[in-house]
Structure 1
Amino acid sequence: MKTYIEHFLTHGYVLLPNLLIEEECRHFRTLLDANYQQYSAHYANASSTTGTLSDKSIEKVVFNLHNKSMDWFKLFEHPDILDLLDVVLKQGSYNNNEPYYLNNISARCPLMGNQGQQLHLDSGLPGVNYCLKVNVVWLLDDFTASNGATRLVPFSHTWTEFPENGTQHPDEILITGQQGGALIFNANMWHGGGPNVTDASRWALLLGYARWFIKPSFDFMKNTPEHIYNQMSYAQKQLLGFQLAPPKDEFTRLRRISSVPEQPVPYKLP
C-alpha cells in the first residue's frame, strides 16, 4: 500500500487492480441496470453551462446507491481504499486525524455515441496544498480505449487553473483496465470520461470521499430510508457523515461534528 500511496501523492492517481472477481462485478452491474430502469424516469432535470457534464441523454446514471442496497457498502468501505484515504485525506489536518466521509455516490455507463466528457475537476478549488477530495472509480466492466475509459492529465492536481471548455490536453492519458479494479485520483486532477464507440456495457461506480467540512452532493440526512439506516454499522454511519450534519441551533449543539451519528428524517424512494 505504501507504494500506491506514494504514486498517488506524486502523480495524483493510482490504479488498484483485481479487488473484485468477475461474479461480484456482474452482481453490481445487475443492481445498477435494475435501479436505472426503476428510477431514471423520476429524475429531476439538470441544466448547466458545462455541456457534456450535464447531458445525461446518452448515458445511464444511478445516484445515491446507499439508499437502495446494503451490498454497496462492500465497496464503500473496502479496506484497501480506506487505507489510502486515511493518509491522503487526513494529511495536514489537526494531528493528521480529522475525519473525512463519503460525500458523493453514483454510477455511470456511457452509451454508444457518447462523445466523452469535457475535461474538468471535481474539488471546485484547483491548486490547494492538500488533497481535499478523492474520487474512486470502480471498474465494474473492462475499461477500453473504445468504450469510454477515463482520461486523466497526470500532475494536473497541482495546477491552479481550470481546463478550458472543449479542449484536449497533450499530456492526457487513457486509463484502461480489467473489471474489478479501482482507479483512485485527487479530485483536483483534470479528468473526463472518454467517447464510447461500442454498444458494450461500461458501468463505473463513482465515489467521492471528502474532508468533513465539504458539502455533499446530496443530503444523506434526508434521503436515507430508516430500514437502511438501521442496518448500518456505527462505522458505516460515520463513513456517510451522519455525525457531520450542522446543528440546528445553539440550543441543540454547539460543535459542527456530533459525538454520535444522528438519525435521518423519514424518507421513501419513489
Structure 2
Amino acid sequence: MHFDLNVKQEYRRSEGEGNPAVDMSQAMDDLGVTGDLLDHETVRQLDETGFVILPKFLPSHQVQALRARLTELLVAEGERAGTEVNREPGTMRVSDLVNKGQIFETCFTHPLLLAGVRHVLGEFKLSSLSSRLPLAHEGNQPLHADWRGGAPQPGDYQVFNSLWLLDDFRNDNGATRVVPGSHLWGHAPANAMADPTAPHPAEKLILAPAGSLVMFNGHLWHGGTRNRSGGPRQALHAYFTHRSNAQQLDQATFARPETLAHLSLAARFILDV
C-alpha cells in the first residue's frame, strides 16, 4: 500500500484548538503505554529486520466479531466500499473504520501496538484504518514502501504499519511478503529493481494464524502476493505517521459525533481530532 501524501506539514491546529492538556506523553500514560511493554527481542526485530510477528494476539471470538462486522460493511457499502481512501483492483477494501464501529478501536489504541509505533516514530498519529481482502487469483502488489518522500536515514522514520490478521496467512492465499532489513537500505524498490513485482531473493512470506498482529516499519519493502487458492485472506491495516505529516485520511474531517462521544481524550489525540 502506498499511503501518505508524503509532504510534511506544520501541525494544522491553531493555538487554542484541540485539548491543550493532552500531549504525547500524557496520551501514552492514559492508554497504558509503558516502557516495559516491548521486550528486547521485539525491539531488536523492529530495529534490525523491520518487522515482528506476534502470533494469535487476538482471541478467536474477537477475530470472528471483526470479520462479521467487515462483512456487514462490505454488503452495506457495495461499490462505495473503500472509496474514502482508495480502491484497489482485485481486492475488497473498507476504509474509515474509526467511524464504523467501536470494535475497531483496539486497532489504534492497543498499548503494545502504540509502544511499537512510538519506538519507531516518536511523535505520531493514526493516518488511516482500513481492511484489505484480495480476491481469487488477484492481489499481487509490487514491492513498495509506504512513504514516497524518499528513503530516510535510520532514526528519521516517517511511517509505521500494522496488520491485524483475520484469516490465516498461508503461502497460497496472498500472504504479505517482506524484505527483512530493507528499511535500512536508504532506497526504494522501484529504484533498485527492474521489476518490483518480481520475487526478491531475500524476501520472506509472513505466515501466521488468524488473530496475529504484525508490526512493521513503514519503510520496509513489502507487498501482497497473489491469492492463488482463492481462500479468505483478510487483514486490518492500522497505519501511523509522524505527527508532523499529513494523514492519509484526515480524521478530523471524517470524525462523526457518535465516534467522538465514546473516545477518550487520549484516543482522540492519537487520531488528531
TM-score (norm 2): 0.78
Per-residue CA deviation, residues 105-126 of structure 1 (Å, 9 max, x unaligned), is 1110111111511111102221
1:159 deviates by 1.7
Aligned residue-pair number: 228
Which residue in the other structure is 1:123 paired with? Answer: 147
Which residue in the other structure is 1:156 paired with? Answer: 182
Which residue in the other structure is 1:39 paired with? Answer: 77
Per-residue CA deviation, residues 180-201 of structure 1 (Å, 9 max, x unaligned), is 1111111111100111012321
Which residue in the other structure is 2:199 paired with? Answer: 168
Which residue in the other structure is 1:237 paired with? Answer: 268
1:132 deviates by 1.7
Work out which of the residue numbers 87, 90, 93 in structure 2 matches 1:61: 93
Which residue in the other structure is 2:168 paired with? Answer: 142
State the AA in 1 paired with 2:137.
G
Q: Is 2:113 aligned against 1:75? A: no
State the AA in 2 paired with 1:151.
R
| CA–CA distance in structure 2, aligned partners of residues 16 and 44 of structure 1 | 27
Tell me: CA distance 1:104–1:27, structure 2 relative to 1, closer, same or farther (3 Å).
same
Tell me: CA distance 1:9–1:180, structure 2 relative to 1, closer, same or farther (3 Å).
same
| CA–CA distance in structure 2, aligned partners of residues 113 and 84 of structure 1 | 33
Work out which of the residue numbers 247, 250, 267 in structure 2 matches 1:216: 247
Which residue in the other structure is 1:246 paired with? Answer: none
| CA–CA distance in structure 2, aligned partners of residues 44 and 181 of structure 1 | 23
| CA–CA distance in structure 2, aligned partners of residues 114 and 156 of structure 1 | 25
- SS state at 2:71 partner: helix
Contact 2:120/2:217 (<8 A) preserved: no
1:68 deviates by 0.7
Contact 1:150/1:192 (<8 A) preserved: yes
**TM-align CA RMSD:** 2.0
Which residue in the other structure is 1:20 paired with? Answer: 58
Contact 2:163/2:238 (<8 A) preserved: yes
| CA–CA distance in structure 2, aligned partners of residues 32 and 43 of structure 1 | 10
Taking every aligned residue pair, what percent have the same amino acid on both sides? 28
- SS state at 1:37 partner: helix
- Higher RCO (CA-CA < 8 Å; seq separation 6+): 2
State the AA in 1 paired with 2:127.
N
Work out which of the residue numbers 49, 58, 70 in structure 2 matches 1:11: 49
